[in-house]
Structure formats: C-alpha cells, structure tokens
Structure 1
Amino acid sequence: MSERDALEGYDLIGDVHGCGATLATLLERLGYHQRDGVYRHSRRKVIFLGDLIDRGPRIRLAVSIARRMVEAGEALIVLGNHEVNALAYCHRAPAESDREWLREHTPRHNRIVRETLAQYRDHPEEWEQTLAWFLDIPLCLELDGLRVVHACWDQALIDELRRQRPDTRIDLDFLSEAMRPGTRASLILDRLTRGSHLSLPDGMRIHSGDGFTRSSFRAHFWARQPRTWGDVVFQPDNLPDELEARELSAEDRARLSYYGPDQPPLFIGHYWCEGIPALPAPNIACLDYSAVKFGRLVAYRWSGEERLDADRFVWVDVPLEERARAMPQEIDFD
C-alpha cells in the first residue's frame, strides 16, 4: 500500500514566521492533537511550506512544533528563503572570499534575522541544531498527485538540481556557490525559494508595508502569454505610477517561469497575500497570507483532488496578542 493510499490526505500550511501559538491553534482546528510532544492526526499529515522563522514572537515554538512533527514522520517540509538566509548569515564565507559571511551582515540583513537570533540567544546549542536541521530540508517535494515548493516551480531548474542532488537537499558547498551571483546554484536557489523578480526603472522604489524599500517586484509564473507587468505582478504592494501597463521586454520574459494548467496541483508560500484565501490558478494554491502582519495563517486540506477547491482552505486569524513574547512553558511544551 502506498503512503497516499494509507492517508486521507495532506494539510499544507503556509509561512508561519514565528507565529507559533497560532500554528498550534491551526493544528488543533485541523484535528491534530499533541501526543508525546508531537502534533498528530490519525489519517492525515502536514506539509510545511517553509519560512518558519524570522519576525514573529514565538519562533522557537514554531520551529519546535514543525521539527518534532517532521522527525516523528507526522509532517514534511520544504526550505523557505528565510531558512536559506539564516544559514548563509550564520556561516562564514570561504577564506578566498572578499567577505566574512556568506550573507553579509548589513543593516537590512541584520534586521530580518534579528528576532530569530534574539529568541535563540540563550539557547545556542538549540540554534546550532536548528541550523543543521535546515540543511536536511529539501527544496521541493513531488509526491503522488501534488508538488510543493516555497516560491516557484521551475521544471528545468528542478531537473538540473535533481541531476546533482536527487533529494533536492543543499549543503554548505552548494550554499556557498549559491551566494555568488551568476552561478547556476544561485539561479536555482533563488528561483525556487524567492521566485522571479523584475527590476523597476532606475530611480523608482516600492516602499513596502513591512518597512523595506525595494527596487524590484515579485512576479508570478502561471500567466500563459503575459504582455504587461500587471499581468504577472504578485504582491500586496502596488506598482508605482502607471507601470502595470508597461510592456514586458524580452529580458523580462526570459526571467519568468511558467507553470501550465495541465500540471499537477502545486502549493507555494512566500508572496504575502492578503484578504480571504483564494486560488490564483485552478491548480495552484498560495498559502502565505501575511500571518506575522496579523493576517491569516492558512492551510489547504488536500485529499487527492486534481482540481483545487477554495472551500478546502482553513485558516486562523492571527490575534494582536500574538505580539507578546512567548512564556517558557510555551516553548518547552512537552
């Protein structure tokens, strides 16, 4: 009997970003209950879409819940860009490099990882174990009837990755290569965990709701024949001025992936959606609904269907109380 035959289905959960208490609430709502320190369901398993860490107040709790489930065989997980960022931030660059760390400790990068490092500061051994666990997480999953990746399923790049790494897991050598712009490792890791970005015209910036200023925008990968920037933009922030009508250049098109409607159901996170969960395409579900910005922590209950159904979304609104720091008993929850 295959795993799919033995299971009723998978519950896919979007970017948690340290909202650990809300994650516990969502799991309970989905019918998972804690036993021996692990959330379990008699007929289903969870798939986490990455980005467990950064920004939120209960990062250790979120990681602990997910890691225990994965290690107990109750969940699967793919790597998010924030886990990649943490690995690169915390590992030194090769001696021949012109920088000290794989991810430079700039004010912007410091700010992104600040909450994670603060919450693990008194638990250095746990943090080292967590970083080691991140290296054991695959970049993508292709199961019987569905696919999972944090940001973008690019078949050609995934095939290239699998030829080198059949399990799609990275190591520090791959990470080091990926931190050098222009390498194939950089393209693969960036596309799968961050998706495609198109650059704004010189001098133009987007001032995002998360406090960062960006010179590019996030583009999706399911428009068959996009013509304009507005056909592919996929983020909460509006494009400045009249740029939605701007024609895609040949260079823009070369930067875009495409996932057609005949492909298996695909689950992604990453894109900071807002509002009531909806399907951007009949076979694609994005489950990142800005939980850490007091949005929604969203799951999709997949039970083998080839055509996705918006009625299968389940979510928990993140309360303002989530802002409070975790109490010790919330971390050591077993």
Structure 2
Amino acid sequence: MAQDSDVDGYDLIGDVHGCGQSLIRLLEKLGYRAEDGVFRHPRRRVIFLGDLIDRGPSIRLAVSVAKRMVDAGEARIVMGNHEANALAYCHAAPSDSEREWLRDHTPRNNRIIGRTLEQFHAFPLEWETCLSWFMTLPLCLELDGLRVVHACWDDSLVAAFLKRYPNARIDREFLIESTRHGSLAHQILDRLTRGTQLPLPPGMEIHSGDGFTRRSFRTHFWCRNPRTYGDVVFQPDNLPPALEDRPLRTDERARLTYYPESAPPLFVGHYWCKGVPALPRSNIACLDYSAVKYGRLVAYRWEGESRLDANHFVWVDVSQEGIRG
C-alpha cells in the first residue's frame, strides 16, 4: 500500500484507552488543529494503533476524535484487542452455539469493558455506530516504508489473512471463527492484536497492577535465539522469582515469532511500557506507555526513516486526565 502522496510523514499514536483529553493535548502538541470538528495538519497524518476504548474517563471523546479524523482522511487506524473484544462481547453467538455471546459475559470480561458500556449507556445509537466502525478497522497496515499492527507482526499469519481478506478488514464470519480456539481466524486475530504469551508453570501466577491475576506472560518478538523466559518477557509486571533464568522448552520456543532486523520499521502498542519512551530495536517502536495508568500517551513522528530515532518520540503525561482507580 502506498503512502499518502500529499503528506510529509505520519504521527503514530499508541493506546489511548479512553484518555480523550490527553489525546487532544497530544494532537495539539504535534501541531494538529481542530477545523470543523476534525483535527488536521497541513502536511502530516495520524495512524492510531488501536485500543481507543476501555478503562479511561473520556472514552466517547477518544473514539469521536479518532473516528472523525479517520472518516475525514486525516488519519488511519488498526484494530486493537480491546476493539476486537468489544465486537465479540456485543455480538450474539450463532443459534447453534452453546454460548449466548461470542465473548462470554464473565465477571472478568464485564470488568474490562465496563467503563466503555457505562459511558455509552445513555447513547445506545452512538455505541452501535462505534461497533459498526470497529468492524471496518484493518488488522494491519503496510505503507511504503513502514508497518503497523497492534501487537505482533507475524509474516506467515499476515500473508494468510491478506490472502483471504486483501483489504485487511474482518467480517462477521471471521469474527465468529476467531472465537473458536485453534482455528486460523483465532490464530490470526490473537497473534496480531494480542501478541504471543507463554503460560507460567503450574501453581504460579502474576498479580498484576491493574487488579487482574494472570497465569501467563506477554512475550516480545525481536530476540533471534531466545534461551530463557527473561529473554522474551515484555510487560510491566515482574515475573515470579527465579523465572527470569528459566530455560525455554522447545515447544515454548516454537510458539514464539521473530521479526527480522532487515524488515521495514514496525510500530506496535499493547505492551504497557513504562518510563521514558525508548526503542527496543532500530526497526521496532512500541508506543503503549500505560497512558491510562497515569503514564504517557506517546506518538512517534515518522518521516520516512528506515532506522528509527528515539528523538522522534513525542508525548504528554496523563496525570491531568482525572483517571479513577
């Protein structure tokens, strides 16, 4: 896919998670100005990395700002796992299914989407419009010189997906199939929007800072020959003691993927980084810096470079957003 001919570069923005006021401050810091309800820049465009919704205090505002920009051609966007979750949560399962919804309404799932549904409760038609829009969001983008995906670019799965959906947009059939563990659609959606995870040894768990208990950990995809858990862990929560040096088994190594250094620059979100934005490698940038946890809402100003530069990060602190615990 070619780059837009009338732009000098892209401003890629990480996970907003309902921090709408911070999104506006970041856009203004990047030089975008609101014109007729749409934030515009004379020579640049935005690419959102997904996860606009859930957790934050101004979810409707975040979605509105992004959607207006995308609809006006001022931005592009890829689907995040939270948009995918919302679609499955709000779509009834087929009549021959044993479940009522494609994503079960368990206490955990209810909690994840709870603030989104709460903030849209008085605006049901607006929420239906959002869900329809989410169905149109591509899972990945490849422009001249850069790639964008919410969590992980896996060449074989991207190729299989684009063979079936050349425009990178899912449909209801794919969404239903993606809820069947082991199906190709499940592998694609899970890898591209959630990345890879490895289960913790039996009896071990992580008590995450966001109140959830997890029995697996998120892994990255830029270590060529990983040997231990510590070589691939990529999340803010520490592994249980003694697991950093635990050797990876052959079957665990087989579950991982690798993004080569020779590949085009890749931009992802998803991983709840902390601190000052940094590059894990010269052709990979993660832009999720835990905005909704009083972190930073981060952008990268890409101007066509094949080797990324940490000086191109721009961010705003989210301490002014008024986030509830």
- Give yes or no for contact 1:81–1:193 (8 Å, CA) kept in 2: yes
The Cα offsets for residues 116-153 of structure 1, whole Å up to 9 and x where unpaired, read as 00000000000000000000100000000000000000
In structure 1, what is the equivalent of residue 200 of structure 2? 200
- Give yes or no for contact 2:50–2:83 (8 Å, CA) kept in 1: yes
Tell me how far apart the structure 2 counterparts of residues 251 and 60 of structure 1 sit (CA, whole Å). 43
Tell me how far apart the structure 2 counterparts of residues 62 and 245 of structure 1 sit (CA, whole Å). 41
Q: Compute the RMSD of aligned alpha carbons.
A: 0.9
- Give yes or no for contact 2:298–2:314 (8 Å, CA) kept in 1: yes
In structure 1, what is the equivalent of residue 14 of structure 2? 14
Amino acid at match of 1:307: R
Q: Secondary structure at the match of 1:322?
A: coil
Deviation at 1:250, TM superposition (A): 1.1
Deviation at 1:3, TM superposition (A): 4.3
In structure 1, what is the equivalent of residue 71 of structure 2? 71
Tell me how far apart the structure 2 counterparts of residues 176 and 3 of structure 1 sit (CA, whole Å). 32
More displaced stretch, 188-197 vs 162-171: 162-171
Amino acid at match of 2:171: D
Tell me how far apart the structure 2 counterparts of residues 151 and 127 of structure 1 sit (CA, whole Å). 25
Tell me how far apart the structure 2 counterparts of residues 7 and 94 of structure 1 sit (CA, whole Å). 44
Amino acid at match of 1:85: N
Tell me how far apart the structure 2 counterparts of residues 321 and 229 of structure 1 sit (CA, whole Å). 35
In structure 2, what is the equivalent of residue 191 of structure 1? 191
| Unaligned ranges ≥5, structure 1 | 325-334
Q: Secondary structure at the match of 2:83?
A: helix
Deviation at 1:261, TM superposition (A): 0.5
1:141-180 maps to which residues of 2 (within 5 A)?
141-180=141-180
CA distance 1:3–1:215, change in 2 (3 Å): closer
Deviation at 1:63, TM superposition (A): 0.2
Amino acid at match of 1:264: P
In structure 2, what is the equivalent of residue 53 of structure 1? 53
Amino acid at match of 1:13: I
Deviation at 1:296, TM superposition (A): 0.1
Percentage identity across paired residues of the two chains = 67
Number of residue equivalences: 323
- Give yes or no for contact 1:21–1:322 (8 Å, CA) kept in 2: no
Q: Point out 4+ residue stretches in structure 1 off by more than 2 angstroms.
A: 2-6, 320-324
- Give yes or no for contact 1:13–1:299 (8 Å, CA) kept in 2: yes
The Cα offsets for residues 48-79 of structure 1, whole Å up to 9 and x where unpaired, read as 00000000000000000000000000000000
Deviation at 1:253, TM superposition (A): 1.0
1:23-62 maps to which residues of 2 (within 5 A)?
23-62=23-62
- Give yes or no for contact 2:16–2:297 (8 Å, CA) kept in 1: yes
Amino acid at match of 1:230: G
In structure 1, what is the equivalent of residue 212 of structure 2? 212
In structure 2, what is the equivalent of residue 330 of structure 1? none
Tell me how far apart the structure 1 counterparts of residues 274 and 322 of structure 2 sit (CA, whole Å). 18
In structure 2, what is the equivalent of residue 249 of structure 1? 249
TM-score (norm 1): 0.95
Deviation at 1:302, TM superposition (A): 0.1
| Unaligned ranges ≥5, structure 2 | none
In structure 2, what is the equivalent of residue 97 of structure 1? 97
Q: Secondary structure at the match of 2:159?
A: helix
- Give yes or no for contact 1:298–1:314 (8 Å, CA) kept in 2: yes
In structure 2, what is the equivalent of residue 268 of structure 1? 268
- Give yes or no for contact 2:21–2:321 (8 Å, CA) kept in 1: no
Tell me how far apart the structure 2 counterparts of residues 27 and 121 of structure 1 sit (CA, whole Å). 27
Tell me how far apart the structure 1 counterparts of residues 189 and 116 of structure 2 sit (CA, whole Å). 22
In structure 2, what is the equivalent of residue 311 of structure 1? 311
Amino acid at match of 1:305: E
In structure 2, what is the equivalent of residue 328 of structure 1? none
Amino acid at match of 1:129: T
The Cα offsets for residues 205-252 of structure 1, whole Å up to 9 and x where unpaired, read as 000001000000000001011111100000001110111111111111
Tell me how far apart the structure 1 counterparts of residues 237 and 319 of structure 2 sit (CA, whole Å). 23
- Give yes or no for contact 1:150–1:269 (8 Å, CA) kept in 2: yes
Amino acid at match of 1:59: I
Q: Secondary structure at the match of 2:322?
A: helix
The Cα offsets for residues 241-277 of structure 1, whole Å up to 9 and x where unpaired, read as 1111111111111111110110000000000000000
Deviation at 1:96, TM superposition (A): 1.1
Tell me how far apart the structure 2 counterparts of residues 195 and 323 of structure 1 sit (CA, whole Å). 27
CA distance 1:3–1:285, change in 2 (3 Å): closer
Tell me how far apart the structure 2 counterparts of residues 191 and 251 of structure 1 sit (CA, whole Å). 17
- Give yes or no for contact 2:206–2:214 (8 Å, CA) kept in 1: yes
Tell me how far apart the structure 1 counterparts of residues 23 and 311 of structure 2 sit (CA, whole Å). 20
Deviation at 1:323, TM superposition (A): 2.3
1:130-141 maps to which residues of 2 (within 5 A)?
130-141=130-141
- Give yes or no for contact 2:57–2:321 (8 Å, CA) kept in 1: no
- Give yes or no for contact 1:4–1:144 (8 Å, CA) kept in 2: no
Tell me how far apart the structure 2 counterparts of residues 275 and 88 of structure 1 sit (CA, whole Å). 33
